[in-house]
Amino acid sequence: MSQLVFASYAPPSPIPNPQSLFPLSSMTIRRLSNKIRFQLIYQDETKFGSAVTGQCDTTIRRYCKSIMAHRQQYGLADVVAHSRELLAATMIPGGLADLYASPGVLREDWLYPDSQAVQPVVLQLEHNIGESIATLKLSPHLLSDLASYLGEWQQGSHAPTTTVARELWDVLNDYGALVQEAMPATSLSSHATFVGHSTLQFSDGNSSILFDPFVLPKSEVYPPNYQPLSLEELGQPDAVFITHSHPDHFDLGTLLRLGANTAIFVPEVQRESVLAIDMALRLRQLGFDNVHTLSWFEERQIGGIRVIALPFYGEQATVGEVLHPEIRNQGNTYLVEYCDRRVALTADSGRDYLGNVKELADTAKERYGSLDILFGGYRGFGLYPIQYLFSSVARYLTFVPEKIWQVRQKMMCDADDVIDVAEIWNAKRLVPYSDGGAPWFWQRGLGPCLDGSQPHIMAVDPTPDHVCQVASQRSGTRKDGAIASPVSICLLRPGDALMFSQADISVKNQSWPYVNSSGSKTR
């Protein structure tokens, strides 16, 4: 019996694949195309929805449909101005009250959706953004070996001989997801490469590690001389480290290409909740067999690279008091020591009831020493709680105490905050990151649009250049003028790298095809 079943669709041919028109020898070596993206679709049978599928956010919006309608009629500013009355009106049966066991106490089945009721059922193949070219139902037999198959085919392989694998191979080949191209040669050097958004590659010349790999397909919709870095160009990592489970940091579509045996280190999540996916569980479901959890201040040695997991503060529902403080967006930040350099990455950090990334910087400096480079998030994301409804984390709204419904919450560091962190940590360089940076991100709603086609709203989507501007005017007097931060701001575009020599650090730039508002090239 066939183990691979197609979902209902009309088979399109968006990617011509001449190889599929003619029989090819089973000895032909093919590998996965870097123009295809894989995405897993989960079946969610939980009562209120889980974080794995985002169905929990759909539930919140359904309960708050009167607020959604109010925005359509009066605008978001009016929603914020009347947020207390609007939210109070939803606290009724059939509204948000359904999620509370009593005032201020959330239901157990909302806090902890049944993880067994959320299962991967479909592998979706995508080409350009939003362009699905095939959806393949996953049988249990295929699911348990999916990481093994795709990881092997990413590196290049002959056609498999087992029935289940061969059926998947043939379907991928028919849809142009397998190509007969040689794997490009990669050479390791001592560097820190900004792949884009929150994805970083560190190499000491012998070993290489990836953080938050979110690698997107190349496409003709991007400038021909500016394309996403592919996993082929980056090379197979010795290990992967994840900061937290939001989909732009924990991307299973990318991880599947790295194979079942790649060492993957994830934050410890003792029980999957509406705020944190149990990443180790979800990886093992797909056949990954080298998965490890890291608690705060644990460390691992990968060749000559030392990685220390540090606390992740911020990107929670509030900056202070919160309902059910035992439930949080679990995560790690990281400190990396290699090539006689000390580098930290803080992703979407900020402040919450457990701590502040600025305090972490002080503690880490005393314990481990000053930084050479800080990769720091700078987006800020200052939102009134009711605005969560219109974001990707509507679920956060339920954790906000009623008394602060009209108090703005800043989920992450803004430009001033991240410069503070760099100064406290005594960093020589600050690289703004974790905010998109290229069209393959901003076309997905990640980060500001930098090609001049849309106006910038600094309160929502500050540009990386904004960090440079803020750093240039940190203090000053009327007599002396502006005084800049002592920290050097290093502006990297996706694809750029910091190259390490024994004496210095230099920047290796990729082509950047866009201009700023004055008409000059920006870097």
Q: Can you tell me the distance from the alpha carbon of 312 to that of 357, in angstroms, rounded to the nearest whole number?
A: 8
Q: Which two tokens stand for residue 293?
A: 């959890």
**pLDDT in the model for residue 458:** 65
Question: Which pTM value belongs to this model?
Answer: 0.93
CA distance 223 to 58: 35
Q: For the segment 357-407, what is each residue's pLDDT rounded down to a tens digit?
A: 999 999 999 999 999 999 999 999 899 999 999 999 999 999 999 999 999
pLDDT mean over 443-463: 84
Do residues 213 and 254 lie in contact, with contact meaning Cβ atoms separated by under 8 Å? yes
Q: Kindly report the backbone phi and psi dihedral angles of residue 284, in degrees, each rounded to the nearest multiple of 5, phi listed first.
A: -65, -30
Report residue 385 as tokens.
Answer: 């709680």
- The enclosing H or E element of 366 equals helix 357-368
Strands 208-211 and 239-241: parallel
Q: How confident is the model at residue 3 (pLDDT cuts 50, 70, 90)?
A: very low
Residue 403: C-alpha distances to residues 195, 292, 352, 375, 412 (Å): 42, 40, 17, 35, 22
- Residue 8 has a pLDDT of 31
pLDDT of 455-510, one tens digit each?
Answer: 766 667 899 999 999 999 999 988 989 999 999 999 999 999 999 988 889 999 98
Asked whether the predicted pLDDT for residue 20 surpasses 80, the reply is no
Question: Which percentage of the chain shows pLDDT scores above 70?
Answer: 93
Per-residue model confidence as pLDDT tens digits over 82-102: 999 999 999 999 999 999 999
Residues 6+ apart with CB under 8 A from 228: 196, 215, 216, 217, 218, 222, 438, 440, 494
Indicate the pLDDT class of residue 184, thresholds 50, 70 and 90: confident
Distance in angstroms (rounded) separating the CA atoms of residues 374 and 371: 7
Question: How far apart, in Å, do the first and last CA atoms of the chain sit?
Answer: 56
Residue 168's pLDDT is what? 95
Over 90: is that where the pLDDT of 519 sits? no
Range 35-45 average pLDDT: 97
Q: Give me the numbers of helices (H) and strands (E) for the chain, helices first please.
A: 15, 29
The least confident of 13-17, 96-100, 139-143, 208-212 is: 13-17
Question: Are the CB atoms for 231 and 257 separated by under 8 Å?
Answer: yes
pLDDT of residue 222: 94
Each residue's pLDDT tens digit, 305-315:
999 999 999 99
pLDDT of residue 189: 87
CATH number of 190-508: 3.60.15.10
pLDDT of residue 516: 60
Q: How confident is the model at residue 122 (pLDDT cuts 50, 70, 90)?
A: very high
> What are the residues whose beta carbons fall under 8 Å from the beta carbon of 287, sequence distance 6 or more?
143, 144, 145, 146, 147, 148, 260
Would you say 256 and 143 are in contact if contact means Cβ atoms under 8 Å apart? no
Q: Kindly indicate the confidence band of residue 41, based on its pLDDT and cuts at 50, 70 and 90.
A: very high
Put the strands of the sheet holding 341-345 in their side by side order: 299-302, 305-311, 332-338, 341-345, 373-377, 429-433, 488-489
Q: Torsions phi, psi of 211, nearest 5?
A: -115, 135
pLDDT computed for residue 26 by the predictor: 55
Q: Are 373 and 431 in contact (CB under 8 A)?
A: yes
Q: What is the mean pLDDT of residues 445-451?
A: 92
Any alpha helices (H) in 92-162, and if so which ranges?
108-111, 140-143, 146-155
Residue 459's pLDDT is 64
DSSP per position, 254-308: HHHHH-TTSEEEEE--SS--SS---HHHHHHHTT---EEEE-TT-EEEETTEEEE
pLDDT tens digits, residue range 273-300? Answer: 999 999 999 999 999 999 999 999 999 9
Apex CA 136: angle with CA 54 and CA 284, to 5°?
60
Arithmetic mean of pLDDT over the chain: 91
* pLDDT(16) > 70: no
Domain ranges in the chain with CATH number 3.60.15.10: 190-508
